[in-house]
């Protein structure tokens, strides 16, 4: 199953982006083949509920898991309800992060790891 990684740049050598809802793009990757595409994050410019918009946007890609730095409760709720594993606390190089994921090195987070409205500059948006 594909996984989505919040990305600070468009390649596997880019860094994992610390914010799920407000990152500029996602790397949508098949961990078996390491083939990937870059998906622009249309949710990031939302006034309110960027996490929700972003979550709905990437769910269309048929992913099984999300790797990111931080994910707020609204986005987490949407992703979990869709059966997607949310893995937070991921940082560093995307390629390295994927390797850790493949070796089952990450445990999915049971809940949001940051308070709501963490995303855009750590502020709330309405």
Partner 1 sequence: MKEVVILSGKGGTGKTTIAGSFAALSSSKVLCDCDVDAADLNLLLDPVIEEEHDFTGGRLAVINEEKCCRCNLCSQLCRFSAITDFKVDEIACEGCGLCARICPVKAIDMKPDIAGLWFVSKTRYGPLVHARLGIAQDNSGKLVAQVRQRAKQIAAEGGLDYIISDGPPGTGCPVISSLTGADLALLVTEPTLSGAHDLERIIQVCRHFGVKPVVCINKFDINEVNTRKIEESCTRTETPIISRIPYDATVTEALMQAKPVVEYTDGTASMEIISLWQNIAFLLDGKTAPAPWA
Partner 2 sequence: MATSLARSLMDDHRVTLLDCDVEEPNAHLFIKPQITSTEEVAIPVPGVRQDRCNHCGKCSEVCAFNAIAVLADTVITFPELCHGCGACSHLCPRQAISEIPYRIGSLEKGGAGNLEFAMGKLDIGRAMATPVVRKVKQQSDGSGITLIDASPGTSCPVIEAVNGSDFCLLVTEPTPFGLNDLALAVEAVRRLGIPCGVVINRAGKSDAALEQYCLRENIPVLLKIPLDLKIACLYSEGITLADGLPEWKIRFKQLAERIMELAGERSCNTQR
The answer to whether residue 110 forms part of the interface with partner 1 (CB under 8 A) is: no
Tokens for 126, please give them: 């309405």
Q: Which of 32, 47, 60, 83 binds partner 1 (CB under 8 A)?
A: 47
Residues 33 and 60: their CA atoms lie apart, in Å, by 20
Name which position in 1, 34, 40, 82 contacts partner 2 (CB under 8 A).
Answer: 82
Instruction: Please tell me whether residue 2 binds partner 2 under the rule CB under 8 A.
Output: no
| Cα–Cα distance measured from residue 89 to residue 112, given in angstroms and rounded to the nearest whole number | 11
CA distances from 106 to 30, 65, 100, 109 (A): 17, 11, 7, 9
The structure tokens 């990684």 sit at: 5
In the set 2, 8, 14, 77, which binds partner 2 (CB under 8 A)?
Answer: 77
Task: Choose the contact partner of 110 out of partner 1, partner 2, none; CB within 5 to 8 A by kind.
Answer: none
List residues binding partner 2 (CB under 8 A): 43, 46-50, 52-53, 55-56, 59, 74, 77-78, 81-82, 124, 126
């Amino acid at each position: 199953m594909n996984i989505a990684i919040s990305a600070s740049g468009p390649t596997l050598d880019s860094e994992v982006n610390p914010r799920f809802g407000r990152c500029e793009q996602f790397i949508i990757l098949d961990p078996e083949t390491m083939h990937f595409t870059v998906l622009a994050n249309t949710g990031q410019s939302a006034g309110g509920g960027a996490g929700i918009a972003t979550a709905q946007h990437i769910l269309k890609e048929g992913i099984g898991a999300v790797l990111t730095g931080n994910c707020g409760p609204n986005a987490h709720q949407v992703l979990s309800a869709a059966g997607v594993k949310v893995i937070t606390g991921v940082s560093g190089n995307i390629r390295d992060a994927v390797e850790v994921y493949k070796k089952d090195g990450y445990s999915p987070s049971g809940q949001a790891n940051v308070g709501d409205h963490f995303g855009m500059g750590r502020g709330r948006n309405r």
